[in-house]
Amino acid sequence: MNIFAILNDVTALAFAAAGLANLFNVGNAEADFQRWGYPKGWRLLTAGVEIAGAVALLFPATHIFALALFALLMIAVIATLLKGKEPIKHLIPAFVFLTLILLDAGFQLKAL
């Protein structure tokens, strides 16, 4: 297994875990989404995007689409956290996820 495949699997696993956390309302994620001004149930949409994107990362035909989707999602997450004046410790995971996406995309582009 090469570094690209490992990085891709780690990225997929990270987003699948985030999606499951949102789906099952871990840490009362719904309250966070409400506090940030999103409509009730928005966490479920986010969970669906995270889980579907994680699956899409595993297939070459949808890999780039998933990375683009995740990049947009993480930009929205970072903007939401900044707008909501969340503590810096909440921004760290968002930047880790964005870094995973960018590294994965970099390996993908290098492979072309």
Q: What is the pLDDT of residues 74-90, one digit of tens each?
A: 999 999 999 999 999 99
Give the separation between CA 26 and CA 28, rounded to whole angstroms: 5
Q: What is the pLDDT of residues 8-29, one digit of tens each?
A: 999 999 999 999 999 999 999 9
- Cα atoms in the Cβ-side hemisphere of radius 13 Å centred on 106: 8
Give the separation between CA 38 and CA 36, rounded to whole angstroms: 6
Secondary structure class of 59 (helix, strand, coil):
coil
Residue 2 lies in a domain: no
Residue 15 lies in a domain: yes
Residue 103 lies in a domain: yes
How many C-beta atoms lie closer than 10 Å to residue 6's C-beta?
11
- Domain containing 54 equals 8-111
Per-residue confidence at 110, pLDDT binned at 50, 70, 90?
confident
Under 8 Å between Cβ of 109 and 4: no
Residue 1 lies in a domain: no
Residue 13 lies in a domain: yes
The DSSP line for 20-54 is HHHHTTTTSHHHHHHHTTPPTTHHHHHHHHHHHHH
Number of folded domains that form the chain? 1
Residue 49 lies in a domain: yes
Residue 104 lies in a domain: yes
